[in-house]
């Protein structure tokens, strides 16, 4: 580990020197790439330097203890400093292990989120809207930009499905564990007997891919246009502005109809398609790496039940990590950082355990 840290520090210093060179500063692409790498190494190098300083303090404390002779007070002081320095070294060593875990290359990306009503009919659609509201309020608190790309509303104000992009620093790193089946237990407004119903909603969180990362051959696409329609099937406009794109090699179909412009709907559909194909490609690569899935909190599989929202009890339970919180209303108002922090911590612990098993 420490050999790796030494090489990391050397690379960090090398980049630091390059960033002050006029020829690098004038080359926008090279400067951006180096600055990105610099930022990715900065936290590790700072912690490593802190560790090296703590090691020096440890050596000094040992030397002081050895030379304390019969001086009782000096011996006690040296012993105290030794224990403190040793504790700090151990703590920093553990932090360095976490920082050296392979980072998810998608963590800094923006995301596309797709929410679909599952089992439960209208009640599922209404809860899909509740989840959309939860993520919207979270984005607002983070000062992230949310843009609806496509939606299919019901007459009662729910969503059969809604796709939206979220633009913000670290968006994927916070939202990536949301993929899966979200289950809701509550008494529907339409239920006269007061019985609790269970409905499900699926959420997919896709890292946004650009054209450089994923090239799509235009000949692989079938593009259809049709008239946009709203809740209940009524026509919003009389022009064929809605777009349906089918990726022939994979059979992936994307529709967009929220914009009145056919051109804008096509751009949005391509954005979603690119992200879906990128995620599928990454999932395929991950599955080729033995044990990778076992070292993650949840597989990202959309069929995996990950969370239950129980309205009568005011309870939210995340089944992957056994986390239960009795503040459902607060969570649905977008205060979900505690859940994200717990999931990230559990994921790091799982990866550390997997890394230890390999050693």
3-class secondary structure, 316:
strand
Q: What is the pLDDT of residue 190?
A: 64
Nearest to 214 by CA among 146, 264, 163, 285: 285
Of 63 and 319, more confident? 319
Q: Interior CA angle at 80 toward 74 and 83, to 5°?
A: 140
Q: For residues 306 and 318, is the Cβ–Cβ distance under 8 A?
A: yes
What digits encode the pLDDT tens for the residues 203-234?
A: 988 888 765 567 788 888 888 887 766 554 44
Say if domain 2-99 classifies as CATH 1.20.1250: no
Q: What is the pLDDT of residue 326?
A: 95
Q: What is the pLDDT of residue 36?
A: 79
Most confident of 137-141, 147-151, 347-351: 137-141
Structural domain 111-349, CATH architecture: 2-Layer Sandwich (3.30)
Q: What is the pLDDT of residue 90?
A: 84
Distance separating alpha carbons of residues 266 and 251, to the nearest angstrom: 17
Residue 33 token pair? 């790439």
Q: What are the Cα distances from residue 67, in Å, to 71, 104, 127, 166, 327?
A: 9, 49, 70, 61, 58
Distance separating alpha carbons of residues 241 and 339, to the nearest angstrom: 40
- What is the helix (H) or strand (E) element at residue 152, kind and residue range? strand 145-153
Distance separating alpha carbons of residues 67 and 82, to the nearest angstrom: 13
Whole-number average pLDDT of the chain: 81
Q: What is the pLDDT of residue 213?
A: 61
**In the structure, what pLDDT confidence band is assigned to residue 337 with cuts at 50, 70 and 90?**
very high
Q: For residues 290 and 223, is the Cβ–Cβ distance under 8 A?
A: no
Tell me whether residue 359 is exposed, middle or buried, using C-beta atoms within 10 angstroms of its C-beta: 0 to 12, 13 to 18, 19 or more: exposed
Domain boundaries, the chain: 2-99, 111-349
Q: What is the pLDDT of residue 136?
A: 95
Which residues are registered as beta bridge partners of 148?
A: 164
Q: Give start and end residues of each alpha helix (H) in the chain.
A: 2-18, 22-26, 28-66, 72-99, 122-142, 171-175, 262-288, 328-332, 337-358
**pLDDT(235) > 50:** no
**In the structure, what pLDDT confidence band is assigned to residue 275 with cuts at 50, 70 and 90?**
confident
**pLDDT(358) > 70:** no
Of 202 and 290, more confident? 202
Q: What is the pLDDT of residue 336?
A: 94
Which residues are registered as beta bridge partners of 245?
A: 223, 254
């Amino acid at each position: 580990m420490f050999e790796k840290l030494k090489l990391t520090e050397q690379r960090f210093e090398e980049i630091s020197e390059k960033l002050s060179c006029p020829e690098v500063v004038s080359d926008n692409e090279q400067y951006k790439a180096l600055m990105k790498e610099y930022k990715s190494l900065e936290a590790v190098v700072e912690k490593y330097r802190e560790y090296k300083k703590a090691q020096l303090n440890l050596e000094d404390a040992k030397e002081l203890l050895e030379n304390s002779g019969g001086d009782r007070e000096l011996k006690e002081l040296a012993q105290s400093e030794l224990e403190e320095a040793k504790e700090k070294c151990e703590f920093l060593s553990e932090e360095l292990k976490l920082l050296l875990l392979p980072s998810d290359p998608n963590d800094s990306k923006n995301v596309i989120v797709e929410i679909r009503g599952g089992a439960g009919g209208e009640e599922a659609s209404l809860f899909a809207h509740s989840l959309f509201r939860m993520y919207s309020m979270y984005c607002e608190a983070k000062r992230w930009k949310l843009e609806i790309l496509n939606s299919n509303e019901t007459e009662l104000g729910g969503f059969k499905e809604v796709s939206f992009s979220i633009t913000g620093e670290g968006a994927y790193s916070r939202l990536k564990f949301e993929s899966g089946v979200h289950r809701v237990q509550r008494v529907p407004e339409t239920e006269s007997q007061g019985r609790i119903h269970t409905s499900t909603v699926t959420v997919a969180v896709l890292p946004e891919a650009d054209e450089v990362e994923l090239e799509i051959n235009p000949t692989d696409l079938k593009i259809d246009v049709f008239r946009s329609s709203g809740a209940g099937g009524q026509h919003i406009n009389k022009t064929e502005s809605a777009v349906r794109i089918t990726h022939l090699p994979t059979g992936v179909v994307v529709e967009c109809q929220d914009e009145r412009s056919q051109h804008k709907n096509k751009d949005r559909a391509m954005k979603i398609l690119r992200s879906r194909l990128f995620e599928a490609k990454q999932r395929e690569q991950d599955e080729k790496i033995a044990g990778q899935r076992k070292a993650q909190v949840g597989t990202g599989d959309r069929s995996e039940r990950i969370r239950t929202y129980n309205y009568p009890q005011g309870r939210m339970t995340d089944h992957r990590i056994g986390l239960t919180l009795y503040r459902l209303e607060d969570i649905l108002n977008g205060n979900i950082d505690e859940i994200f922090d717990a999931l990230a911590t559990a994921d790091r612990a799982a990866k550390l355990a997997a890394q230890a098993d390999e050693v």
